[in-house]
A and B are shown apart, each in its own frame.
Chain A
Amino acid sequence: KAGVTQTPRYLIKTRGQQVTLSCSPISGHRSVSWYQQTPGQGLQFLFEYFSETQRNKGNFPGRFSGRQFSNSRSEMNVSTLELGDSALYLCASSLGGLAGPLLKTDEQFFGPGTRLTVL
């Protein structure tokens, strides 16, 4: 069974630009979550999508948005990039269900991440 894939793996952008990252979950998984990881803050939750609907959202500005398609693939968009947006962006998929990855039985599987550098 193929794992979670993310594209692109590396990206370099300049301030003010926008970027779109893609995540393909494990086949059969309906929940996709996005995280930002920086050395100073560690992993921080961005949002979760389940059945094409944003189910939960972390504490990030509106420049960060996402969507999920009918095949469960998800995209994340960051507009008006800032230097502080440089980070490893991880997506994780799980089967989903009532409360999604909160449940012990709903294990999350992470992709390799997209390394975004903003110059």
Chain B
Amino acid sequence: KNQVEQSPQSLIILEGKNCTLQCNYTVSPFSNLRWYKQDTGRGPVSLTIMTFSENTKSNGRYTATLDADTKQSSLHITASQLSDSASYICVVSADGGSQGNLIFGKGTKLSVKP
């Protein structure tokens, strides 16, 4: 069964600190992996999209890594800011031509405190 598991479920860090969010998936055949940021009450916003041949992708202070062999991805946030407080959702796309093959993780809720 195709699944995406994210950890931790929630995380509290102090402003200025770094943090890493994890995403493990059992999706096959793999097409691409995306990280989204979702502020409370808003729609998700794409941070990065990676195919199996890409093992690192950066977007400002956000850096995503992908290990297609172990089927793990991480999202590293550097020098966190209060505005980073949000839910971060990992989404894996299964190759197969059907949009029904977008598998969503349940997200990690990050709180950045001053």
Chain A residues near B (Cβ < 8 Å): 4, 33, 41-45, 48, 55-59, 90, 92, 98-104, 107-113, 115
Can you identify 15 A-B contacts, CB atoms within 8 angstroms?
A: A42-B106, A45-B104, A56-B100, A59-B100, A92-B43, A101-B102, A102-B95, A102-B98, A102-B102, A103-B31, A104-B49, A110-B45, A111-B43, A113-B41, A115-B41
- B99 lies within 8 A of chain A by Cβ: yes
Q: Which of B55-114 contact A (CB under 8 A)?
A: 89, 91, 93-102, 104-107
Contact of A56 among B44, B49, B95, B98 (CB under 8 A): B98
Q: Is the CB of A99 within 8 A of B99?
A: yes
- What is the size category of the interface that chain B forms with chain A? 20 to 34
Q: Number of contacts between A and B (CB, 8 Å)?
A: 70
Q: Is the CB of A90 within 8 A of B93?
A: no
Q: Is the CB of A56 within 8 A of B32?
A: no
Q: Is the CB of B100 within 8 A of A107?
A: no
Q: Is the CB of B99 within 8 A of A48?
A: yes
Q: Is the CB of A43 within 8 A of B99?
A: no
